[in-house]
Amino acid sequence: MNSYQKVNRAFDLISIGTSAIITKGIIDWLQELKIQQLAILCLTFVLVYLLNEVFTGIFKKFFSNFEFFRKLILGEDFIEGTWIEFQTKDDGNLESVGIVKIKPERGGYGLTISGENFKYIQGNELSLNYRFSSKDGLVNLKFPILDFAYINRFSTPINGRQSFEGVAQVTFSDVQRISSHYHMSFYLSEDGKTMNVQGHKIKSYNDLKTIKNDTMKLFETDIFKKYNIS
């Protein structure tokens, strides 16, 4: 059970308990009015059900729709956001750059991961390698470890292949409670290789706005210096 599922499960239990307490108060009041027991019994089940649905619905709406609410409840488990990651060669030179978006899945029961990887050429020049996304139901967060399976789709087919699959493990480091860096190892199932990258959370509003409009324009700025990558 991932962190998001645990939060939803905990609130389900809280909601049932709260609904039962409120229902008991209402039933006690009705009993003083000498209402028939059969009617009270039926009303008990209806009230518990309806109140639980209301409380659960309100929570799930807030939890899935409002980032500040998830951040407040999840604490250090909150890793959502846009990240930039750098992969280096054995000689320490930069090989590729990735933009990674970690978002809550629909309903707020887990996370989805998606993004783009760009081959580093020189200076600020890069070219799109592939786009990637996590597989549904195969993302598991047990902070500080995030495991997921993914599929990469090439921008241009390589050796006849349109895509490849693999698994990855991310280890987050927290700074002042909210993580801002990670190390990721990912396994390429078809090549039998394990790769390593370093990720940095993008917090700048201007950088996030640039990514939203045109990711490539981000690399025309001092992005490499800003995130301590030469």
**Neighbouring C-beta atoms of residue 97, cutoff 10 Å:** 23
Q: What is the CATH number of domain 76-226?
A: 2.40.160
Residue 51, pLDDT > 80, answer yes
- Residue 176 has a pLDDT of 59
Q: Is 207 helix (H, G, I), strand (E, B) or coil?
A: helix
Q: Is the pLDDT of residue 1 over 80?
A: no
User: In this structure, are strands 125-142 and 145-158 parallel, antiparallel, or unpaired?
Assistant: antiparallel
Averaged over 96-123, what is the pLDDT?
Answer: 88
In whole angstroms, what is the distance from residue 175 CA to residue 177 CA? 5
Amino acid at position 145, single letter: I
The whole-number pLDDT of residue 85 equals 92
Residue 183 near residue 168 (C-beta atoms within 8 A):
no
pLDDT digits (tens, 9 = 90+) for 154-171: 877 777 778 888 889 999
For position 54, what pLDDT does the model report? 92
Q: Could you read off the pLDDT of 171-217 as tens digits, one per residue?
A: 998 655 678 889 988 766 555 667 788 899 998 888 888 888 888 87
- Say what the pTM is: 0.82
**Domain limits, the chain:** 3-65, 76-226
